[in-house]
Amino acid sequence: DTEVTQTPKHLVMGMTNKKSLKCEQHMGHRAMYWYKQKAKKPPELMFVYSYEKLSINESVPSRFSPECPNSSLLNLHLHALQPEDSALYLCASSREGTGGPGSGNTIYFGEGSWLTVV
Amino acid sequence: AQSVTQLDSHVSVSEGTPVLLRCNYSSSYSPSLFWYVQHPNKGLQLLLKYTSAATLVKGINGFEAEFKKSETSFHLTKPSAHMSDAAEYFCVVSEYGNKLVFGAGTILRVKS
């Protein structure tokens, strides 16, 4: 089973709202990721958690706040977003969070959460 | 730094004809290379991966890719296209720490 589950599938929020995206995997993976994908573009890495610790933050604005409560769960808390933040947010996981080039750790993606900021 | 170039932004084929999606990469190390597919309004699904074992890699749904170090290429092929193959395909190289570097994507259109 290579399933990463994301909820909600669709979210519409106002610029003053606070909401959260949730992600879950039960593959025993120790690395989890958030990616942002705009229309007609490849995904862009936002955050990486390795062994439940934040290991990479790709200079993401503070209105996006990640949280990893345990090794199976990953949240993305949203506050005071802008319309340009509207995008598909993809969660992913992999067996290990580190490893050199060629280590071949496969990253498995969820179906994504479509976010619209109005 | 590693990079990926997908040589065609759009490819159009007729159902039942071969598919070729081209990818060139740049890497200072022995790379891990992947092809992912994204159907409309869906997440990314792994098609196949290369990790320095056999240079010809077989994936799901009849796709395969050949790693050619001398040409720094990792082209994706399928002998016979199906309507359900219509999607966007991403060639990806893995950097240190599992950071993925994505190509710009190739949209495959399959005509009936």
| Of the partner residues A42, A55, A111, the one whose CB lies closest to the CB of residue B105 | A42
| Of the partner residues B32, B100, B102, the one whose CB lies closest to the CB of residue A104 | B32
Q: Please list the pLDDT of chain B residue by residue as tens digits (112 residues).
A: 789 999 999 999 999 999 999 999 998 777 889 999 999 989 999 999 998 778 899 999 999 999 999 999 999 999 999 999 999 999 999 876 667 899 999 999 999 9
Both tokens of A51, joined, read 């062994």
Residues 6+ apart with CB under 8 A from B53: none
User: What pLDDT is recorded for position B99?
Assistant: 79
Both tokens of B5, joined, read 């170039």
Gap from B47 CA to chain A (nearest CA, Å) = 11
> How many Cα atoms sit within 13 Å of B106 on the Cβ side?
27
User: What pLDDT is recorded for position B32?
Assistant: 87
What are the residue ranges in chain A where pLDDT is below 70? 1-2, 97-104
- Cβ of B94 and A31 within 8 Å? no
Q: How crowded is residue A74: how many other Cβ atoms within 10 Å of its Cβ?
A: 27
Q: What is the dihedral of CA B21, B27, B29, B32, to 10 degrees?
A: -30
User: What pLDDT is recorded for position B51?
Assistant: 80
AA letter at B64: E
Instruction: Provide the CA B51 distance to its chain's centre, in angstroms.
Output: 14
Both tokens of B30, joined, read 């022995």
Match 């200079």 to its residue by tokens: A59
